[in-house]
Each structure stands twice: as C-alpha cells, then as structure tokens.
Structure 1
C-alpha cells in the first residue's frame, strides 16, 4: 500500500496481532466461532501482508493476482456461508474489499492516482469507505458495556469471549479503513 512507513508498520502489527488472536480463537468449542475465527485470521494476515510499506518491500507483480484469487475464494466461501448466517455478509464485504484492493494494486504503478491527475475518490473506494466507517462506529458502540443484549456475565474461556472477538473485528475494520484511505 502507498503511504508513510511508520503508520504502515503499525497497521502491519495491528493486523498481524489480530490474525494471531483469531488463530487462537479457532480453538473454541463453539463450531460457528471457529469458522468465523478462521476467516478473520485469513483477513488479518492478508491485511498485514498487503500493508507492508512499499518503500520497504515491493511485492512482485504476480503477488497481487494471487491475493485477488485467495480473497476471491474466501468471498465465495463467505457468500455460501451467508445463506444461513447474516454475519457472514460482513465477511463477504471484507473479502470483496481485499479483492478490489488487490486488483487496483495489480493494475497500477506506484502512486498512480497522483500521476494521472485524478481528483476525488473512485466510487467503489468511496462506497467501501462508507461501509467500513459505519461498521467501525457500530462495532465501537457494541464494545460499550451494557449495550450488548443477552449478556449473561458468565465467565467464558479467553478464546470464547465475545468482547474480544468484537474488539478483533473492530481493529480489522479500522485497518481496512486505513488501507482504503491509502489506496
């Protein structure tokens, strides 16, 4: 992604840490949580890999189509899973955003949006920014104590704690916003 190196490394660290926690959540005894955690781990590590500052490492040209194929397959899986669980629609949006970013990066040289004198934000990028901004705001509100319906107060295992899963999703939403802004 384009942009300064320091914020890029912070984004890499945030996304990698989120991906690592999601891998640990895959040990949950709840099957649906394990499935969601697997998709979220893929997103976290994929976002971390895409966020490595271009000044440090410029991926080979074949890397972007690979990202598009991997996240395209993940999008198809999320679409299939969304039949019974609407939560997977967000996974579909996230994977579709990753495919979009990979396609844009594959078809553009460094700083292409400045080189051609383009002004404004492309419509797809703008729509994704609106979606993820809303998602981040809603996720942040859900982290406020007392706003979650059905909280029992029972102590769950550290991998099954819903507030940690929400915080994980919130951090990935913030990361997605940052990546879309630098696109």
Structure 2
C-alpha cells in the first residue's frame, strides 16, 4: 500500500498480531468456530502482507495475481457459507472481495498512478469504505463494557474470550479502512 512507512509498519504489526490471535482461536471451539477463525487468520496475514510499505519492499508483478488467486476462492467459500444466513459469512465475503479489488487496483497502479477519471474516490472504493466504516462503528459499540450479571457463568479460557475476538475483528476493520484510504 502507498502511504507513510511508519503507519504502514504499524498496520503490518496490527494485522499480523490479529492473524496470530485467530490462529490461537483455531485451537479450540466447535468446527464452525475454527473455520471462521481460519478465515480471519487468512485475512489478517493477507492484510499484513499487503500493507508492507512500498518503500520497504516492492512486490513483484505476479504478487497481486497471487492475492487475487488466494482471496477469490476465499470469497466464493464465504458466499457458499453465507447461504445458511450467517451475517458474519457475508462480512467475510465483503472482506475477501475487498482484498481481490485492492489487488486488482494495485496491479494496475504503476500504469495509471492511481489516477481516476474525473477525480475523487472510485465508486467501489467508496462503497467499501462506507461498509467498513459502518462495520467499525458497530463493532466498536459492541465492545462497550456492560455490568457483570450476578450468577453469570464463570469466565472462559483466554483463547475463547468473545471480547478479544470482537477486538480483533474491530482492528481488522480499522486496518481495512486504512488500506482503502491509501488505495
């Protein structure tokens, strides 16, 4: 992605840490939870790789096709899983599609220097930004602490804590906004 190197490295660290947390989540839980955690780990590590500052490493031309080859099937898998009516699988579909879109734009970037006819933000980028900003706001609101309920079940193991999972999803949403803004 294009932008300041220091913020790029922070984005890489955030996405890699999120991907690592998702790998930890894959160790426990039900089969579907492990599958979701695996999809989120792929997204986290893919975003980390894509966010490496261009000043530090310029990926070869084939790298953008590789991103599309990885995240295209991930989008199809999320679409298939979403047929059961899961909103979170739809979110994975949008995220994987956004990664394919960014890969296509970045593959085309050297030839066009990010020029958009008529100026402004391209329609797809704007729509993705609106979606992810809304997702970040909603996810952030879900992190607001609520008072403990007397007699509630005991806390779960740290690898299964829902607030950490929500925080990771929030951080990936914020990272996606940042990446789309630098597109």
Q: Does 1:106 align with 2:107?
A: yes
- Asked whether the equivalents of residues 2 and 54 of structure 1 are also in contact (C-alpha less than 8 Å), the reply is yes
Q: Which residue of 1 aligns with 2:168?
A: 168
**Which whole-Å CA distance do the structure 1 matches of 2:125 and 2:154 have between them?**
41
**Superposition CA RMSD, Å:** 1.6
* Total equivalences in the alignment: 178
How big is the shift at 1:117?
7.4
How big is the shift at 1:108?
1.7
**Unaligned stretches of 5+ residues in structure 1:** none
Compared CA separation, residues 161 and 122, structure 1 to 2 (3 A):
same
Q: Which residue of 1 aligns with 2:156?
A: 156
**Unaligned stretches of 5+ residues in structure 2:** none
**Which whole-Å CA distance do the structure 2 matches of 1:58 and 1:111 have between them?**
17
**Which whole-Å CA distance do the structure 2 matches of 1:153 and 1:132 have between them?**
33
- Asked whether the equivalents of residues 2 and 110 of structure 1 are also in contact (C-alpha less than 8 Å), the reply is no
TM-score (normalizing by structure 2)? 0.92
**Which whole-Å CA distance do the structure 1 matches of 2:130 and 2:164 have between them?**
24
**Which whole-Å CA distance do the structure 2 matches of 1:168 and 1:118 have between them?**
37
How big is the shift at 1:118?
5.5
Compared CA separation, residues 121 and 94, structure 1 to 2 (3 A):
same
TM-score (normalizing by structure 1)? 0.92
Q: Which residue of 1 aligns with 2:56?
A: 56
**Which whole-Å CA distance do the structure 1 matches of 2:52 and 2:2 have between them?**
9
Partner SS state of residue 27, structure 2: coil
How big is the shift at 1:111?
7.5
Q: Which residue of 1 aligns with 2:182?
A: 182
Q: Does 1:143 align with 2:157?
A: no
**Which whole-Å CA distance do the structure 1 matches of 2:136 and 2:166 have between them?**
10
**Which whole-Å CA distance do the structure 2 matches of 1:102 and 1:26 have between them?**
27
